[in-house]
Amino acid sequence: LHPLNSHSASRNRPEGKVLETVGVFEAPKQHGKYETGQLFLHSVFGYRGIVLFPWQARLYDRDVASPVTEKSENATGHGSKEVKGKTHTYYQVLIDARDCPHISQRSQTEAVTFLANHDDSRALYAIPGLDYVSHEDILPYSSTDQVPIQHELFERFLMYDQTKVPPFVARDTLCAWQEKNHPWLELSDVHRETTENIRVTVIPFYMGMREAQNSHVYWWRYCIRLENLDSEVVQLRERHWRIFSLSGTLETVRGRGVVGREPVLSKEQPAFQYSSHVSLQASSGHMWGTFRFERPDGSHFDVRIPPFSLESNKDEKTPPSGLHW
């Protein structure tokens, strides 16, 4: 077992600050799930975090050939393979606040957003420092520190119990929070596709419905991760979205970069992640599109964004009303 060092790059470290051991690596689990309270380093973004609970998601991976290989026209009007969803474990985690300033390949510290449950409010609530990570993103470690993660929800959700492995167990508040808010937290579908060694992963989340001018507006958040699986440096230059609504409308959105950035994906920093929001005047729809990347020689290529559906929760419960327990 190797000591685990603070992962902040030296350029981010204050003068004179030395690397400190924060824990001891454990062997990643090939089978089974990580438990609530498992400490980990994120294998792509390098932050320290702790597992709150697992979600079972359906992963639609368009890079895996299905038994049905013939092309079929679908409702989006473009040829697509039939993709079968495979069950895959993802985790709801807390990010250590000390690491947030150093996660440069994220457009913002990841947050869970949802609509406020107040008739007179148009507020969008956010709980910062929450992320969704795939089983293979986790590099588990153990620590003797009783408060190993700095996050305002850490001690509200977890307590130290030296008799348990891992020694952090869920408080009743964590169980109640998951139960109450699961329609807005739950990750159910993950979509993935690779074009020219650039892998795009999309996770949509339903956020709730608003009434506006005698009509209903439905809102979703979608989280996108871009990963360069090659050694060549590329830069994202443009996005091109198509958004189809069940009401019959088809919207095209073009723009430079994503969330005001034009991220560079290199061997040193191969991934970038961001979240955005979309609304429809219908209870469902779907989105697809392309990202245009530029190579060092100035040539461009388009990377497919896998089609994903926007579904409103059928068993819609009362949305969360802020952070009240």
> Among the three residues 159, 187, 215, which one is the final residue of a domain in this structure?
187
For the segment 284-307, the average pLDDT, to the nearest whole number, is: 97
This prediction has a pTM of 0.84
Domain ranges, residue 179: 23-64+85-187
For the segment 43-47, the average pLDDT, to the nearest whole number, is: 91
| Helix runs in the chain, H state only | 154-157, 172-185
Distance between CA 125 and CA 325 in Å, rounded? 15
* Residues 111 and 47 both lie in one domain: yes
Is the pLDDT at 71 greater than 70? The verdict is no
* Residues 94 and 226 both lie in one domain: no
What's the confidence (pLDDT) of residue 116?
A: 61
Identify the weakest region by mean pLDDT among 4-13, 252-261, 291-300.
4-13
Distance between CA 222 and CA 239 in Å, rounded? 15
DSSP letter at 46? -
What's the confidence (pLDDT) of residue 215?
A: 86
- pLDDT tier at 256 (50, 70, 90 boundaries)? very high
What's the confidence (pLDDT) of residue 324?
A: 43
Q: Percentage of the chain surpassing pLDDT 90?
A: 61
| CATH code for the domain of 314 | 2.60.40.1470
* Residues 182 and 198 both lie in one domain: no
How many domains in the chain? 2
- pLDDT tier at 17 (50, 70, 90 boundaries)? low
Give how far the C-alpha of residue 196 lies from the chain's centroid of Cα atoms, to the nearest Å: 22
* Residues 208 and 151 both lie in one domain: no
> Among the three residues 162, 187, 212, which one is the final residue of a domain in this structure?
187
Are β-strands 284-294 and 234-245 bridged in parallel, bridged antiparallel, or unpaired? Answer: antiparallel
For the segment 245-269, the average pLDDT, to the nearest whole number, is: 94
Is the pLDDT at 79 greater than 60? The verdict is no
| Helix runs in 46-127, H state only | none
Q: Percentage of the chain surpassing pLDDT 70?
A: 80
> Among the three residues 158, 187, 216, which one is the final residue of a domain in this structure?
187
For the segment 54-64, the average pLDDT, to the nearest whole number, is: 92
Distance between CA 147 and CA 61 in Å, rounded? 37
Q: Give the chain's length.
A: 325
Are β-strands 215-228 and 198-212 bridged in parallel, bridged antiparallel, or unpaired? Answer: antiparallel
Please, which residues have CB within 8 angstroms of residue 99's CB and are 6 or more apart in sequence? 7, 8, 46, 47, 48
* Residues 55 and 160 both lie in one domain: yes
For the segment 212-230, the average pLDDT, to the nearest whole number, is: 91
Assess if residue 325 is contained within a domain. no
Higher pLDDT, 186 or 40: 40
For the segment 263-290, the average pLDDT, to the nearest whole number, is: 94
DSSP letter at 223? E
* Residues 34 and 153 both lie in one domain: yes
Assess if residue 202 is contained within a domain. yes
Helix, coil or strand: residue 136: helix
Is the pLDDT at 78 greater than 70? The verdict is no
Containing H/E element for 175? helix 172-185
Assess if residue 13 is contained within a domain. no
- pLDDT tier at 77 (50, 70, 90 boundaries)? very low
Helix, coil or strand: residue 179: helix
Distance between CA 56 and CA 84 in Å, rounded? 15
* Residues 42 and 149 both lie in one domain: yes
- pLDDT tier at 103 (50, 70, 90 boundaries)? confident
What's the confidence (pLDDT) of residue 117?
A: 57
Is the pLDDT at 90 greater than 90? The verdict is yes
What would the pLDDT profile of 156-192 be if each residue is shown by its tens digit? 999 999 999 999 999 999 999 998 888 888 888 999 9
Average pLDDT, the chain: 84
What would the pLDDT profile of 113-140 be if each residue is shown by its tens digit? 767 655 545 667 778 889 999 999 999 9
- pLDDT tier at 68 (50, 70, 90 boundaries)? very low
